Homo-oligomer: A and B are copies of this chain.
């Protein structure tokens, strides 16, 4: 299975290359080609690594010319499956959930949030950004009926595990977790956590080193 041998780090770098390509295009709409060595230099990644990463997507650059910006963008997007629209259920209708619901960037990465859940009786039945908030207890049945594969957890840490259990019960196969907890799920369920604290840990520590050291 060569297909699953691609590391998380490669996938994360591919996503960074995409940001970079979009930024370059925004700065210079007439730009047509980009080279691996240019990406490497601007993102401070070794050029051998960039070439290896790009090769994974199946695209081959033209020597001395580089890659067509459009082809490279499409190639990475295809590889990350961002050109297929994936329906997702979101659980947790607070500010973070709202932020994700309103995120126009999701269309670009193939995510469509089709239903919104919460356990708060004050929120259930109300509309948030054009979507009715449904009771969290309806989640498993709706996952089954709508054959949804992806669940997003934007609830507080205290209810995240309970939500994950309901998602797994319904048949969700991949969970995008924004709650600062370690979820316990069966081995075949994919979990990716966005842990803002771990990023803050690096920032806080580096800042204190700088202030104390300077």
Contact = CB atoms under 8 A, between A and B. Distances in A.
A49 interface: no
Given A98-B95, A213-B3, A203 B192 contact: yes
A205 interface: yes
Q: How many copies does the complex hold?
A: 2
Interface in A99-128: 99, 102, 105, 109-111
A11 interface: yes
Interface in A184-214: 188, 190, 192-211, 213
Given A95-B95, A192-B200, A205 B6 contact: yes
Nearest to A129: B95
Interface string A131-175: 000000000000000000110000001100000000000000110
A18 B200 CA distance: 13
A6 to B, nearest CB: 7
Given A99-B96, A192-B202, A19 B173 contact: no
How many chain A residues sit at the interface, stated as a range, is 35 or more
A79 B4 contact: no
A11 B205 contact: yes
A207 B149 contact: yes
Contacts of A174: 203, 206-207, 210
Contacts of A80: 201, 204-205
Given A26-B158, A111-B200, 6 more contacts: A15-B195, A22-B157, A23-B157, A94-B99, A110-B204, A176-B200
The 10 closest A-B pairs by CB, nearest first: A95-B99, A15-B201, A81-B208, A12-B198, A192-B203, A174-B207, A96-B99, A15-B198, A11-B201, A190-B206
Interface of A: 1, 3-4, 6, 8, 11-12, 14-16, 18-20, 22-23, 26, 42-43, 79-82, 84, 86, 94-96, 98-99, 102, 105, 109-111, 149-150, 157-158, 173-174, 176, 180-182, 188, 190, 192-211, 213
